[in-house]
Amino acid sequence: MMPGGMMGAMGSWGMGYGFFGWLIGLLFWIAIIAGIVLLVRWSIDQGKLKGPQTGESALDILKKRYARGGIDREQFENMKRAARAGRIAPSPTLAMAATAKAMAARGIDVADFSSGEPDFDTPEPVKAAAEAAIRAGFTKYTPSSGIDELRQAIIDKLQAEQGLRYEKSQVLVSCGAKHSLYNLAEALLEAGDEVIIPVPYWVSYADQTLLNDATPVFLPTREEDGYAIDAHELERLISPRTKAIIINSPGNPTGATYNRATLEHLAALALSRDLLLISDEIYEQILYDGATHTSVASLGPEVAAHTVIINGVSKAYAMTGWRIGYAAGPKDLLTAMANIQSQSTSNPCSISQKAAVVALREGGAFTKKMVTEFDRRRRVMVERLNAMPGVHCRMPTGAFYAFPNVSGLLGRQSPKGKIATPTDLANYLLQEFKVAVVPGEPFGSTQHIRLSYATSMETIVRGMDRLDQAFKQLT
């Protein structure tokens, strides 16, 4: 059934003039709708992403058209909604992982390096806590912000490891770290705001910014510098619209870590310009070669007041499917995030929350054992990649990803066609050699692919053999 307004308009164009009048009315509305779609697409192309050279966003363009009378209020709202939804694509990492799993389910032998999750099983004490919660009937709604026991475990962890002091009102438990980031974006950002994101970046940072009508501003970093942030370049990108800077250390996809000096520069800049630091610390415990983790919030009370920590249990305790993340930060902002969550997901899973308490309090030994194995796999994968012609891979100091530079392979020919981009390379590897990797473009790179070594050593050896063969066939 058509909305009343459209039906009325079609009636005025058609009912009084017979079949041909009705046809003319129909064609009129088809033309209107097609024009809206084309305009939205053009607007998105013009204003989706913003680098150092700023320009008008899609929303700015629509506002100007509305102000000039080019579109009415209803058209403005419809086009605004369409533009907002059209900015967002499905997570490319999840999409590649789903494709690899679907192929495996059909009996295809895939060497899957796409999944950003530990291949270890959740620790037994954690599973036992979940089972006990079920048997005890702890299966009802919980407080929206999380159960007191879990929030206290988070507070104790931050105090013990980073010397940070938070009240329960400053801690929000959510359905994963990604959900925590989304709550923050919803609470913090308004149309026209800007968020500075170092490149390469985790895929959801930019899309969550766009979904809240704000603009991601990309800060380039250099592989040869270990993806370190240039403080002068960062300061140059700050504008009156800048709301926040994202920190991800250890980082996805690079595995790079920030030292204390870098964090001190970032903190000083945030304080001087009254900016929020969004510190994604989900990989904080997965470190190698003597690297240590320092939360930027630990640099002083004033810095903590300008920082929201994002973390969770998924990576350190092999609990990706349990969906428990958390945020800690200024009370007013965390209250706003909690209010948003209360109107969306209500509360995180009750059973998972009980399990997360045990993970945070007792999971340290498990994490150390897992990291030791990741370290072994890391060395094998990176050494194998660096032995392949046309490939260079920096040794990561954190997380569980290799991010090889494959620019030496781009422009070559495969038996099926030219390999012009990392996406072309990823498709070639999956289709012809049954190796699943994630192309660099969703992370902001046109020269890299991402491989996870959170998989078995047998898979790594088999996959590296296939990659070596695949790359040698490129001419």
Of 345, 360, 375, the residue that ends a domain is 360
pLDDT tens, residue by residue, 37-88: 444 444 444 444 444 444 455 566 656 666 676 666 666 666 566 566 666 6
Shared domain check, 290 and 166? yes
Residues 159, 44 share a domain: no
Domain boundary among 360, 391, 421: 360
Domain membership of residue 148 (yes or no) is: yes
Do 287 and 201 belong to one domain? yes
**Integer angstrom CA distances of residue 370 from 24, 277, 354, 363, 454:** 68, 30, 22, 11, 10
Residue 328: what residue type?
Answer: A
Number of domains making up the chain: 3
Statement to judge: residues 374 and 314 lie in one domain: no
Structure tokens at 161: 């490891």
Helix axis angle for 18-47 and 73-86, nearest 10°, is: 50
Q: What residues in the chain have per-residue pLDDT under 70? A: 1-67, 69-89
Same domain as 303, residue 386: no
Assess whether 298 and 263 both reside in one domain: yes
360, 393, 416: which is the final residue of a domain?
360
- Asked whether residue 337 falls in the same domain as residue 410, the answer is no
Q: Is the peptide bond before 253 cis (omega within 30 degrees of 0)?
A: yes
> 104-142 in b/e burial notation, b at 16+ Cβ within 10 A?
eeeeeebbbbbbbbbbeebbeebeebbeebeeeeeeeeb
Whether 127 is in a domain gets the answer: no
pLDDT confidence of residue 56: 55
**pLDDT value at residue 398:** 98
Do 236 and 290 share a domain, yes or no?
A: yes
pTM: 0.83
Q: For 25-41, what is each residue's pLDDT tens digit?
A: 555 555 555 554 444 44
Phi-psi label, residue 47: left if phi above 0, alpha if psi -120 to 50, beta otherwise? alpha
In 3D space, the residue among 130, 123, 64, 143 whose CA is nearest the CA of residue 338 turns out to be 143
Which element (helix H / strand E) includes 197? strand 194-199
Helix axes 73-86, 58-67, angle to 10 degrees: 170
In a domain, 79, yes or no: yes
pLDDT confidence of residue 98 = 83
Same domain (yes/no): 155, 251? yes
Residue 322 has a CB neighbour count (10 Å cut-off) of: 25
Partners of 244 in beta bridges: 195, 276
Residues in CB range of 127: below 8 A, 6 or more apart: 355
Same-domain status, 332 and 392: no
Residue 443 lies in a domain: yes
Residues 451 and 372 in one domain: yes
CATH number at residue 176: 3.40.640.10
pLDDT of 37? 44
Q: Which domain holds residue 378?
A: 92-117+366-472
- Is residue 167 exposed (0-12), middle (13-18) or buried (19+ Cβ within 10 Å)? exposed
Rounded distance between C-alpha atoms, residue 390 and residue 428, angstroms:
16
132 falls within a domain: no
Residue 32: the pLDDT is 52
